[in-house]
Every structure is written in structure tokens, then in C-alpha cells.
Structure 1
Amino acid sequence: MPYDLGATARLTAVCRDPGGALVTASTAVVTVTLPDGTTATPAAAETPTVGTYEADYVTEQAGRHTVRWLFTGPAHAYTDALDVREEAPPTVLALADAKNLLKKRTADDDGAIRFWNEAATRAVEHFVGPVVVRTVTEDQRVGVVATVALRKAPALELVSVTALRTGGVTYDVGDLTLDGSLGIVSRTSGGSLYGPLRFVYRAGRIIIPGNITAAAQLILQHLWRTQAGPGRPQRGVDDYDVSEPIPGLGYAIPNRAVQLMNADDDGPGIA
């Protein structure tokens, strides 16, 4: 499961000789490649179990990391990966609410619940646009246009609009108008926008409507049931029915959640 940004990831590996037996290596080096391409080499040490090594790495960046172990005497190698969450991972439901929904009272399943809660949020936002407020950086390769449609709507506010090429026009956001529900940007004066441009803006919903929260709850329960229980989702049984697969999402979205998201007035909904 992903680590929280700033948490310590305990990295582990084993060293084996050509015959497959666990052995103590002459040297053990672990290299962590961060998402931005930089590297870190936390100190590696053998544990009390012969041939088993560990290293503690304090996470610094969100995203996918590559972990590479190299041993000598004997020569052995092992490659792994770890994921680090954003500082404020976007989830519609708080962990406590998700646990209560799934009737979990201990921390034993917290990692799995957080994972499926994030997956449920992504599914919801696939249909209704951003729900959890976040800052978006978006490049628009436009020429001379009257309006620009931001890709993430609803949008709350423009932070900056800058030129992507030398000599291009940078705009004061005070001179621009934002139709937040549609994500449409235009000049207050009615003139044209000259691209290409980089837009930085805040997107999401300050208040999450009840139908979106309810849809997230249904999707989370559905995903939890299908990963914990046998078989494909049944049809014609309950709120978790799936009449037909949704392109790109298969059987991940139950019918009742689709109906709830179609009732949303602030987002694009589902065609």
C-alpha cells in the first residue's frame, strides 16, 4: 500500500547465492530513485536473519519510486517499487467514515480501506469532475481564442495564467472571468487570449453534495464486497447491481451510484 508523504518506508531484500541459499553479502547498497529522477541511498544493514537486509527511507516526494538493491560477494540484485501519496490525498470520505461504513472497528484493514477509498473517489470524479479541492497546473496549446475551456470543472478560482513561450502574453487573473461550473476562461474586456498558456487554478467543490457522498459510499461498499467476496457482482439483487459494464471501468460502478451521480447539478454527470 502507498506510504504517506513524510513517512518512513522500511525497505527489505534478501541476498542469495547462485544456489538460492540465503547468505551474508560483502556489501549491500540500496538506491531509491525518486519521481523527479534524483536518487537517495539510505544505509542498508543485515538483520538478525542471515541474508535478510533492510533500510529505512524517509519519503520526500509523492509518486512512484524505484528501489534497487545491489549485493556483492556474492553478486545479487533485487528491484522493487514503492508509492507515496500526495500530502493531501483526495478522498470523498474520511477514513473514519469509510471504516464506519464498512463496519471496521480496528486498524487492521486501514491500508486496504484507504486504497479502495481513493479508488472510489477516482471513479466518482471520472463522472462528475473534481470533488476534493486541489490545485491544478494545466497547459493549453491554443492560439488566438476568445475562451479557453479548462479540463477540470468545476473550477473555483484562477491562480495564474502565464505564457508558455518566450515573448508570449501573461495575464493578470483580475482581468479574466471564470465560469466555474463549466471551467470557461475569458477576458473581462471581451478581447482574445493569446496562447499557448499555462493555467494554474483550484478545482473541486467547497461543499460536497449529499448525492456525491452517497455515490462514493455505494462504490466503496461495492468495491470492498467484490474484492473480499467470490465471483462477479450479481444482477437484480440490491443497490450494488451492475446492469452492464461501463467503458473503461467495467463492473466497478453499481447502478444506484450512477443514478446518484446523474442527479448532480454542478458537474457533467454521466451521459
Structure 2
Amino acid sequence: MPFDLGATVRLSGECRDPGGTLASAATAVVTVTLPDETTISPTVTEDPDTAGKYWTDYVTTTPGRHSVRWVWTEPAAAYTDVFDVQEEAPPAILSLADARQHLNLVSTKDDGEVRFWNTATTRAVEYFVGPVVARSFTEEHQVRVSRTVVLHRTPVLAVTAVTTLLTGGVSYSVDSLHVDRDTGEVLRLDGGRLDGRLRFTYRAGRTVIPENITAGARIILEHLWLTQRGSRGGLAGGGQDLSEPVPGLGYAIPNRALQLLEPDRLPPGVA
């Protein structure tokens, strides 16, 4: 499961000789490669009770995929792994408490797994209806002398910055722009034109989340939760409607959830 940004990750590795037996090494080095390709090598400790078992604690500082490389000498051994760090405020339509309540979970021992599927549920819902959780997006557009440009994600709440990427290019004040919330169209109000390679930073999502979207999210979450826990005593499929695959997502989304999302569905070809 992804770690929270700022959380401490316990990294562990086992040094084994060519015969597969745990063995203390002359040297032990672990290298963590961050998402920006920078690296760090925390101090490694060998377990005092079990020779050949090593660990280190790493405090996360950057969201994204991290790779971990263990290397030992005498005996020569190596081990590679990965872990993910989520954004400081990952988008989630349902709160953890709401998700736990809907799944009828009293204990908090599965909270990490619930959070994972809750985030996956949000991504699935937004595939059909666009951003639900309000947050910032950045995208670049090549504009050729036009009064308008259409942003990719809707509903748009506000354009917060427009930056030209060309040396000597014209800068644009967001106060001179009008944004159509539902279509994402940005229009210059002063009659001028937008031109060049432009980077738009804007917020998109819902300030109030309609009940049909919340209900659809609850159904999808329950479906994903029960499906993946089928081998552990749950009902595979969760008793949901698996009769028809959904383009782009296969059988992951029950049809009754789609019916709830239908009033807010994006036009065909828009995702």
C-alpha cells in the first residue's frame, strides 16, 4: 500500500550466501532512488538477533515511485524492491470514516487497504464524470492567435495562472480571462488574442459533491472491496452486476453505479 508523505518507511533486506542461507556481510548498502532520480543511502543496521537480516528507516519527502537497491559483499548478494508515496492530500470522494462505515468495518486494522481502494474508486468515478475532488491541474497548450482555448478537465473552478513558455512571449492576467465552468473554454474578455506555447494552472472539481456521485462511489468501493477479498471468505463479485463490461474498465464498475453517475457523465470521447 502507498505510504503517506512524511511517513517513515521501514526498509528490510536479507543477505544470503549462494546456498540460500542467511549470512552476515562484510558490507551492506541500501540506495533509495527518489522519483526525481536523486538518491540517498541511509545507515543500515543488522538485526542483532538474526545474522543476515538488515533494516533501515527512511522518512519520505517526495510523492511518487521509489526504488530500493540492497547490495552486500562477502557474500555478494543483491535485492531490489519498490514502494510508493502518495500525495500529501490524495483525492478521495469518501472519507475514511464513510468508507469504513459503508463496508461495515468496525476495526481499523484494514484502514490501509480501505484507503487504497477508496482512492482507486475516486479515480474510477472521475473517469466518467471528470474531477470530483477539487484540486489544481497544470497543462500546456499550443495556441495560434485565438481568443479561446479549451482546458481538458471540467468542471473548472478557476484559472490561477497562465504562463508563456517562449522567451519574450506575452504574459496574460487571469483577471482578463473568462472561464466557462462546464466546457472548460477560456476566453479573453478584452478582445485580444492568446498566442504561443502557454501553461495553464487551474482548479477543477466540485465544491459540492452531488448525492448520485457519492452513491455511485459507495457502490464501486463495495464492489472492489468484496471482489478482491473473495478468496478470503467474501462473496466474489460482491453480488454486484457483472453482466456487461464497461469500455476502458472491463468488469470493474457495476452497471447500477454507472446509472447513478449518468446525469454527470462526460460527453463521448472526453476523459
SS in 2 for 1:190: coil
Distance in structure 1 (CA, Å) of the matches to 2:243 and 2:156: 33
Compute the RMSD of aligned alpha carbons: 1.6
What's the CA shift for 1:141?
A: 2.4
SS in 2 for 1:5: coil
Q: Tell me the residue number matched to 1:20.
A: 20
Task: State whether residues 160 and 200 of structure 1, in contact with CA within 8 Å, keep that contact through their aligned partners in structure 2.
Answer: yes
Q: Tell me the residue number matched to 1:246.
A: 246
What's the CA shift for 1:243?
A: 3.1
Distance in structure 1 (CA, Å) of the matches to 2:167 and 2:245: 47
Q: Which amino acid aligns with 2:173?
A: D
In the comparison of the two structures, how many residue pairs are matched? 265
Q: Tell me the residue number matched to 1:4.
A: 4
Distance in structure 2 (CA, Å) of the matches to 1:190 and 1:220: 47
What's the CA shift for 1:232?
A: 6.3
Q: Tell me the residue number matched to 1:169.
A: 170
SS in 2 for 1:125: helix
Q: Tell me the residue number matched to 1:43.
A: 43
Q: Tell me the residue number matched to 1:141.
A: 142
Task: State whether residues 160 and 201 of structure 2, in contact with CA within 8 Å, keep that contact through their aligned partners in structure 1.
Answer: yes
Distance in structure 2 (CA, Å) of the matches to 1:94 and 1:218: 15
SS in 1 for 2:190: coil
Distance in structure 2 (CA, Å) of the matches to 1:204 and 1:46: 48
Task: State whether residues 128 and 270 of structure 1, in contact with CA within 8 Å, keep that contact through their aligned partners in structure 2.
Answer: no
Which stretches in structure 2 are left out of the alignment for 5+ residues?
A: none
Q: Tell me the residue number matched to 1:52.
A: 53
SS in 2 for 1:119: helix
Q: Which amino acid aligns with 2:204?
A: A
Q: Which amino acid aligns with 1:14?
A: E
Deviation per CA, 1:182-234: give whole Å up to 9, x if none.
21111012332102100011111111111110010000001111111158648
Q: Which amino acid aligns with 1:4?
A: D
SS in 2 for 1:143: strand
Indicate whether 1:159 and 2:160 are aligned. yes
Distance in structure 1 (CA, Å) of the matches to 2:53 and 2:123: 37
Distance in structure 1 (CA, Å) of the matches to 2:4 and 2:236: 32
Deviation per CA, 1:219-252: give whole Å up to 9, x if none.
0001111111158648xxx6x2133111221111
Task: State whether residues 226 and 236 of structure 2, in contact with CA within 8 Å, keep that contact through their aligned partners in structure 1.
Answer: no
Indicate whether 1:223 and 2:224 are aligned. yes
Structure 1 runs of 4+ with >4 Å offset: none
SS in 2 for 1:200: strand
Indicate whether 1:114 and 2:115 are aligned. yes
Amino-acid identity (%)? 57
Distance in structure 1 (CA, Å) of the matches to 2:267 and 2:167: 39
101 and 66 in structure 1: CA distance in 2 versus 1, 3 angstrom threshold: same
Q: Which amino acid aligns with 2:266?
A: P
Distance in structure 2 (CA, Å) of the matches to 1:118 and 1:40: 29
Q: Which amino acid aligns with 1:127?
A: F
SS in 2 for 1:196: strand
Indicate whether 1:268 and 2:266 are aligned. yes
Distance in structure 1 (CA, Å) of the matches to 2:267 and 2:85: 30
Indicate whether 1:181 and 2:190 are aligned. no
Task: State whether residues 163 and 198 of structure 2, in contact with CA within 8 Å, keep that contact through their aligned partners in structure 1.
Answer: yes
Which stretches in structure 1 are left out of the alignment for 5+ residues?
A: none
Distance in structure 2 (CA, Å) of the matches to 1:182 and 1:112: 36
TM-score normalized by structure 2?
0.93
1:204-223 superposed matches below 5 A: 204-223=205-224
Q: Which amino acid aligns with 1:161?
A: V
Q: Which amino acid aligns with 2:210?
A: P
Distance in structure 1 (CA, Å) of the matches to 2:166 and 2:50: 57
